[in-house]
Structure 1
Amino acid sequence: MIITEKFVLLNLPKTGSTFVRSVLKKIYKNRFERNRFFKIAKKLKIMKPPYEELILPNIKFKQGVVNHSDQHGVYSQIPEKDKNKTIVSVVRNPYNRLISAYEFQFWKGRPALEKNILEKNFPNFPNLSIDEYIDYLVLVGENSYEKKPKDIKIGVFSLQFIYFFFKEPKCVIKKLNKEYLENETLFKEDLAEVTFLKQESLSKDLIDFLIHQGFSKKELEFIHTEDKINVTENKTENRNELITPKVIDYIENYEQFYMKVLKSKGIDYVNPF
């Protein structure tokens, strides 16, 4: 996460958060290079750093599954002194995000399943077809997060969303039931106040947000032509081939909570393929 004077950026994976982090760092770098006061203040050590980037323990999985720290800190890890600031993050259509995650292949090097479960269910791992990857995601959702009722269908994006943006994520996951997942209002008291930018219109949304935070249009002009970062290379010639019935079924049956919460925030995602 990145903490600035006015807002906190939470980096939801495979949504465009790397681009946002890079843009913020470039803005502050440009300010420093162009402003004599910043140079003098830094030299005299009387200027606080313009932002703080925190690398935090990964608490999104149960203990022992994933052990590395990373830049993807969650709302509950924000220092108390900063929780009154605007919280901002980026979200993405789950269909595109799932395919991007599959092709990015981070899961091959750091699988989010315990070794015995992985070996039992996927003897050919990491060589998984898209449908086998869906089976992998289902098992991750069932085995790698805090304990929840076994009869609850909820996908990894929805669980991840709870961890990232809910005030007491572990408590929410433990109390999950059919009524909570289907109700249109129960989740609202548990959800933190977050401003969501859409990956599909990220440059525009980011510029609008930063202007609202006091940045000038001039120092944001470069964003329009800034190259995207950490873009997943297409390993399949036609990505539409990866949208199998099993992929669609997974999104429609396991990720409805994720989509419902976003819809309550004015973001309505549908199958783009």
Structure 2
Amino acid sequence: MIFTDRFVYVHEPKTGGSFVTEALMRLYGMRWSRWLRLEAMVRGQVTRDGSPHGRFTYHNLKHGTYGQVPPPHREKTVLATVRGPYEMYVSQYEFGWWRRRDMRRHFAAVPDFRRRFPRFPELAFPEFVELWDAAMGDPHPEGRGAWTRQFIRFYFRDPARALAMPDAALRDAETRRAALPAVHFVRTEGVREGVYAFLLDQGFRPEDAGFILEMGKVLPGKGRRDDQRWERYYTPALRDRVRRRERLLLEFFPDFDV
């Protein structure tokens, strides 16, 4: 997480947050380094006051949710990056961190895990989708999928209450506005332009923030090749399955359902 005098950045995994973090650090005159990482680990956060834009704090809870934002910062505007569920599955699959040993405790709780996924962790993409949704989504067949639940956990003021609400309640615009903080969502595929426009709205000058439009990709490890477009991973049936499970998230962001 990042806290500034003007806004907060909440970094949902695999949504372009490494790019946003580097961009904001540069804006505030900071550079990511081994020593900065060590300071964040030892102190829990790194704060700098020397920028003309004010105070900047990088919190070591990299993927903290809105509910973990300290009270003094909770009424500030929240900047967030979001990505569609179809691409989220592909990004997670190719990044591969789900294969790590510490993730197995989540998957071992899936009913009949060893019988259903005997080749784990060597899974084809459809198998991964089935496993991830079984582990992270609602266990009821008609419940909410993994990415809808993650979105609610990351951004709603009271995630437990929101998760208990029926879809019909969260479809109501007034109910949803009351349940969310003042959050500004930027799509991953337009992250440069989105972050730049957000900063201008926050009062930053174009000459200070304009470098963001020229930044290259910032990848936390292995990135996907240009030919690994998410559409190539899906059969019509698999796409329909994801659409059904992530229906609420796709209603929040209709442009994700392309």
TM-score class, shorter: 0.7 to 0.9
Residue identity in the other structure for 1:115: A
Report if aligned partners of 1:149, 1:177 keep a CA contact under 8 Å in 2. no
Residue identity in the other structure for 1:19: F
Corresponding residue SS for 2:216: coil
Residue number in structure 1 paired with 2:34: none
Choose 47-56 or 154-163, whichever is displaced more: 47-56
Structure 1 residue 194 displacement after superposition: 0.7
Q: Does 1:111 align with 2:103?
A: yes
2-side partners of 1:270 and 1:103: how far apart? Answer: 21
Structure 1 residue 232 displacement after superposition: 2.4
Report if aligned partners of 2:16, 2:81 keep a CA contact under 8 Å in 1. yes
1-side partners of 2:170 and 2:73: how far apart? Answer: 30
Structure 1 residue 250 displacement after superposition: 2.6
Residue number in structure 1 paired with 2:72: 81
Residue number in structure 1 paired with 2:166: 177
Closer/same/farther in 2, CA of residues 114 and 140 from structure 1, 3 Å limit: closer
Structure 1 residue 125 displacement after superposition: 0.9
Q: Residues 6-21 of structure 1: matches in 2 within 5 Å? A: 6-21=6-21
Report if aligned partners of 1:137, 1:155 keep a CA contact under 8 Å in 2. no
**What do the CA deviations read for 1:61-89 (whole angstroms, capped 9, x no partner)?**
xxxxxxxxxx1111111111111111110
Residue number in structure 1 paired with 2:60: 55
1-side partners of 2:88 and 2:173: how far apart? Answer: 24
Report if aligned partners of 1:87, 1:194 keep a CA contact under 8 Å in 2. yes
Residue number in structure 1 paired with 2:121: 126
Closer/same/farther in 2, CA of residues 74 and 46 from structure 1, 3 Å limit: closer
Residue number in structure 2 paired with 1:158: 148
Closer/same/farther in 2, CA of residues 122 and 176 from structure 1, 3 Å limit: farther
Residue number in structure 2 paired with 1:42: none
Closer/same/farther in 2, CA of residues 219 and 269 from structure 1, 3 Å limit: same
**What do the CA deviations read for 1:79-105 (whole angstroms, capped 9, x no partner)?**
111111111101123222221221111
2-side partners of 1:119 and 1:51: how far apart? Answer: 47
Structure 1 residue 191 displacement after superposition: 2.3
Report if aligned partners of 2:167, 2:248 keep a CA contact under 8 Å in 1. no
1-side partners of 2:23 and 2:236: how far apart? Answer: 37
Structure 1 residue 223 displacement after superposition: 1.4
Q: Does 1:225 align with 2:220?
A: no
Closer/same/farther in 2, CA of residues 129 and 97 from structure 1, 3 Å limit: same
TM-score, with normalisation over the residues of structure 1? Answer: 0.75
Q: How many residues align?
A: 234
Corresponding residue SS for 1:111: helix
Aligned match of 2:186 in 197, 201, 215?
Answer: 197
Structure 1: where are the runs of 5+ without partners?
Answer: 32-44, 57-70, 143-147
1-side partners of 2:242 and 2:249: how far apart? Answer: 10
Closer/same/farther in 2, CA of residues 240 and 83 from structure 1, 3 Å limit: closer
**What do the CA deviations read for 1:173-207 (whole angstroms, capped 9, x no partner)?**
2x243544665654443222210111122111111
Structure 1 residue 141 displacement after superposition: 3.0
Corresponding residue SS for 2:256: coil
Residue number in structure 1 paired with 2:27: 27
What is the aligned-residue identity percentage?
Answer: 27
Closer/same/farther in 2, CA of residues 180 and 137 from structure 1, 3 Å limit: farther
Residue identity in the other structure for 2:17: S
Aligned match of 1:167 in 157, 169, 180?
Answer: 157
